[in-house]
Amino acid sequence: MYLVISTNIFAALPIEAALQRISRVGIKNIEIHALHLAEAKDKTENVIKWVKKYGLNVPSVHSTTMNSDFLGKTEPEFKQKYKDYYSPLFNCAKNLGAKIFVDHLDKANFHKKKEYNSLKGRIIENSSLLTELAASYEITIAMENSSGDNCLYSPGQFKEILEKVNHPNFKMNLDIGHSLCNDINPQKFIDIVGEHIVNLHTGNFKMTELIESLKNIGYKGAIVLEHEEEKLRDAFKNILEELKESGFDVNNVQGF
């Protein structure tokens, strides 16, 4: 396992300023969050220079596609639009060195829990289409569990979709905060789809036991610090203490 910090912590800043601030924290691996990825797509060459300048690495990026109305559209002309929309994002991710593209599956985020069964076939079809396109850029899609009353949220759903898509470039991003929003213990995701998890977003949750469970299943992916709490500095300090308990070397990590 390795530590990653999301630029979401400095979401209010332009991407260069966010990268500069993160470079002072002491975690070299970063996940470029949605708003910053939208910015990076339009000036990728500059972002590559800034990443090198500040001594950072980009193992993953976070989707800018949460508001894209693609779910359920499978006509031939739509598939070209889908490609036109995602290709620049995948190309940007690849040029930045990222291997993982965290996605919320577009409008799935805005369909209620009760709609899952009626949408399942389209979710699987769209996921397959997205994954094939990502694979052509040597990118792995890590589908994220939704928060609140949204239709793609449970371990059972992810097990079903992951098995139906059945592609080495289609995996899962476990968001701890989103799991807790739905009163689901994150441990259930590890128990049911742990082998498919390649990226994890931390949250306001005791991580020590969870990290031990991840070790037990041989998890080699990222632990991404993507906190959004009001008292962000306190949350960051708490998670660093827990990570230290779990054996992570955080002695050189600073506050912000």
Q: What domains can be seen in the chain, in order of their start residue? A: 2-245 (3.20.20.150)
Q: What is the pLDDT of residue 153?
A: 94
Please provide residue 64's backbone torsions phi and psi, each rounded to the nearest 5 degrees. -100, 10
Residue whose C-alpha is closest to residue 172's, from 150, 147, 155, 148: 155
Tell me the pLDDT of the chain averaged across its residues.
89
Amino acid in position 16: E
Q: What is the pLDDT of residue 122?
A: 83
Pairwise CA distance, residues 191 & 88, whole Å: 35
Instruction: Tell me the whole-structure pTM to 2 decimals.
Output: 0.93
Q: What is the pLDDT of residue 23?
A: 93
Say if residue 70's pLDDT is above 90.
Answer: no
pLDDT digits (tens, 9 = 90+) for 155-210: 999 999 999 999 999 999 999 999 999 999 999 999 999 999 999 999 878 899 99
Pairwise CA distance, residues 237 & 201, whole Å: 16
Q: What is the pLDDT of residue 69?
A: 60
Residue 66's pLDDT band (cuts 50, 70, 90): low
Pairwise CA distance, residues 155 & 192, whole Å: 6
Residues composing the chain: 256
Pairwise CA distance, residues 190 & 210, whole Å: 9
Please provide residue 179's backbone torsions phi and psi, each rounded to the nearest 5 degrees. -60, -45
Residue 68's pLDDT band (cuts 50, 70, 90): low
> What's the average model confidence in pLDDT over 209-237?
86
Say if residue 120's pLDDT is above 70.
Answer: yes
Say if residue 106's pLDDT is above 80.
Answer: no
Q: What is the pLDDT of residue 126?
A: 83
Q: What is the helix, strand, coil percentage profile of the chain, to 5? A: 50, 15, 35
